[in-house]
A and B are shown apart, each in its own frame.
Chain A
């Protein structure tokens, strides 16, 4: 049974930004500060300034679409809902096309033995499976992935700040134990890049990836039909002929007030990822967090950490060394004012404390698991999944499947926790 709701749009509907609320004013303030920072950063380095701007758009999109990988995987098993996962698939399909064009420009002959610079082509093996499983459990227990945690921090969720603390602890943990994983596993794990595999070339690899994404989309639709979950569709009933201000009001509401459909959010993120890669690198936030966790270790007296082999990896390695305000900093920290802007314009910013104390422990514990796994996988759901599959890397698929397995166990734990 499908419901259809009607919302009335009358010519007298108020402009969502007029009268200007306190939150909207603060939103303009954050927007001005964000753009000012972009100008100042851009004066030092134009690329970093451009990445900062993209990060603002990235954070704004995450917040407006409530785009979260943890929700995408968790909802499949907890509610049978694939709404969020379909958005993820749309984003990856858009990125796949754009990344292929960029990678072709970088390496025109995929069989030549070289890999496109900065593409997230990561080692495939047991380390990726372990990373995916642990990350999947952690993100479901914590209630958000790494990028989801960053945008919720900006929205005022106190537990997300606790989750971030856990993520940094986990990343510090992998910094201290990475060399064991390297010596025993990762050193022997191959990087498998589809265009250079089995004579597929770019066209074959892109076709294979898109067919797989479409196939999963269809499978998810079946999964939803099986569970019986649905979202009501809304038809707009227009009363009277709307004037200029009403039309403008509707457009502003669609962008700044109402939540975006997650598929639109996914497509926008896919586009942002492509532009980001044309400037320097695909989307990823773990590298900067790894760097910050190592700075914290340095304060505690643990210095000179050397993670074997990491310099030769793509993905989120945190090894950009040109100053504190670099590309990794811009994309990771820059998404927060973007998300804050989104929350303020929508009137959704609020300091939110959890209702039960247990949430703090869940947030911290899940965060530690995610941090450790993101370091081991050389990326979180963003770097090792959302950016890896469009990089035509087999590791992205292995990480994704392992995430699904981890999320399945995570939801079992979540159900027990109540």
Chain B
């Protein structure tokens, strides 16, 4: 069973959130399920490109106008 991780990036600088999100993509490639919480819209543009051709599923939800929940899961 894959490990599951929840990472709250809200309030961190934009560049830090981006670095951490890309690091999370790498960990997800290793089989982890990861959920990211972010207040930076740029991640919505960057992550779909980052997960392309990497065998990962990306799920996005927007519970309010300034909050996104992004799930990264390996395709089984």
Which A residues contact B (CB, under 8 angstroms)? 1, 3, 5, 7, 66, 70-71, 74, 78-81, 83, 143-144, 152, 157, 159-160, 227-232, 234, 258-262, 352, 354-355, 359, 414, 418
Q: Is the CB of A262 within 8 A of B11?
A: yes
- B5 cross-chain contacts in A, Cβ below 8 A: 1, 228
User: A229 with B8: in contact, given A3-B20, A79-B37 (CB under 8 Å)?
Assistant: yes
Indicate with 1 or 0, residue by residue over B7-28, a CB within 8 angstroms of chain A CB atoms. 1111111011001100100000
B52 at the interface (CB under 8 A from A): no
User: Size class of B's contact patch?
Assistant: 20 to 34
Which B residues contact A (CB, under 8 angstroms)? 4-13, 15-16, 19-20, 23, 37, 39, 61-67, 69
- A66 cross-chain contacts in B, Cβ below 8 A: 10-11, 39, 66
Nearest residue (CB) in A for B69 is A79
* Cα distance, A354 to B67, chains bound together (Å): 12
User: A261 with B11: in contact, given A66-B39, A80-B6, A81-B37 (CB under 8 Å)?
Assistant: yes
- A1 cross-chain contacts in B, Cβ below 8 A: 5
**A3, A5, A74, A152: which contacts B65 (Cβ < 8 A)?**
A152
* Cα distance, A71 to B39, chains bound together (Å): 12
**B10, B61, B64: which contacts A418 (Cβ < 8 A)?**
B61
Q: Is the CB of A234 within 8 A of B16?
A: yes
- A77 to nearest B CB, angstroms? 11
Nearest residue (CB) in B for A157 is B65
* Cα distance, A78 to B67, chains bound together (Å): 12
* Cα distance, A140 to B9, chains bound together (Å): 20
**A3, A160, A228: which contacts B4 (Cβ < 8 A)?**
A228
Sampled A-B contacts (27; CB under 8 Å): A1-B5, A3-B20, A5-B20, A71-B67, A79-B6, A79-B37, A80-B6, A81-B8, A152-B66, A159-B65, A228-B6, A229-B6, A229-B7, A229-B8, A230-B6, A230-B7, A230-B8, A231-B7, A231-B10, A232-B12, A232-B16, A234-B12, A234-B16, A259-B13, A261-B11, A355-B62, A359-B65
* Cα distance, A364 to B20, chains bound together (Å): 35
* Cα distance, A226 to B46, chains bound together (Å): 30
Q: Is the CB of A79 within 8 A of B8?
A: yes
The residue in B23, B39, B63, B64 that gathers the most chain A C-beta atoms within 10 A of its C-beta is B64
Nearest residue (CB) in B for A83 is B8
- B64 cross-chain contacts in A, Cβ below 8 A: 70-71, 74, 143-144
